[in-house]
Amino acid sequence: MISFPNAKINLGLHVVERRSDGYHNLESLFYPVELCDILEVIPGERFGFQSTGLTIEGPEEENLVVRAWRLLQKRFDLPPVRIHLHKVIPIGAGLGGGSSDGAFMLKMANDLFMLGMTEAKLEEMAAALGADCPFFIGNRAALATGTGNILQPVDLDLSGYKIVIVKPPLAVSTGMAYKVVTPRRPDHTVAEVVTRPVEEWKELLVNDFEEHVFAMFPEIGTIREELFRLGAVYASMSGSGSSVYGLFREIPSCLADKFPGDYFVFPRL
């Protein structure tokens, strides 16, 4: 069985308070995009995991795909499988690639072995893997609150726009980003702003991480400004970075000259 775990972008992101457990409550709108990894699961005589494409740092057992499989093994009597993950979604980019891989592993196993888990049950299991993993179970535009695990579907369609994602050659640590951000209640909530025309988002839809991340990595802020100069209706860093996306009515012809080799466009040209 093969699936294509996709990325997401954050439309606005407010870190509203620090929780007693050390995590943070936030508000953001998660929106799925077509940038995808490739995940294959086939029966095998013994468990095996292989990754190709972009290099994934860290021990195999810490990979969210493997963690998802181990979580399933604790609840179900499953035969051994061989898993192949081909990594395309940039790592440390705020695009949720690892979370998507883990969530899709849960969904694939549910289908492959006819486990009968409902979407709600899959979301519950995904929450054990990471805060934004549950989003990729339903995989539709949703307002995320709590730690990112409380999801409310939102009727938002950006199909009239081209989404340009630019990934500079650096990664931003999520832990570091949370350490420097100051939790606050926003003047305009994400839920309120996204009901307005996209043309009004530039002044109202804010990612709280940008101020500090741009100070530490000025090149990320420069990318955002360049996207606006090229005609983006809206542009923002996704999550805690380092990728920046822009919403365009039409793709500028000079895009390839500005960002050679390190950008993605969806729908694909």
Those residues whose C-beta lies under 8 Å from the C-beta of residue 266, and which sit 6 or more positions away, are 33, 34, 35, 162, 163, 165
CA dihedral 166, 12, 235, 86 (to 10 degrees): 20
Spatial separation of the C-alpha atoms in residues 235 and 133, rounded to whole Å:
24
The active-site residue, picked from 8, 107, 162, 167, is 8
Task: Return the amino acid letter for 226.
Answer: E
Catalytic annotation present for 202: no
Peptide linkage before 267 cis (omega within 30 of 0)? yes
**161-180: buried (b, 16+ CB within 10 Å) or exposed (e) per residue?**
bbbbbbbbeebbeeeebbee
> Which residue reads 């307002």 in tokens?
143
Q: What does the DSSP 8-state code read for residue 22?
A: S
Spatial separation of the C-alpha atoms in residues 140 and 146, rounded to whole Å:
18
Q: What does the DSSP 8-state code read for residue 161?
A: S
By the 8 A CB rule, do 145 and 26 touch?
A: yes
Catalytic annotation present for 262: no
Six token digits for residue 10: 């954050």
The active-site residue, picked from 132, 162, 167, 208, is 132
Those residues whose C-beta lies under 8 Å from the C-beta of residue 211, and which sit 6 or more positions away, are none
Measure CA 254 to chain center.
27
Q: Which residues are catalytic?
A: 8, 132
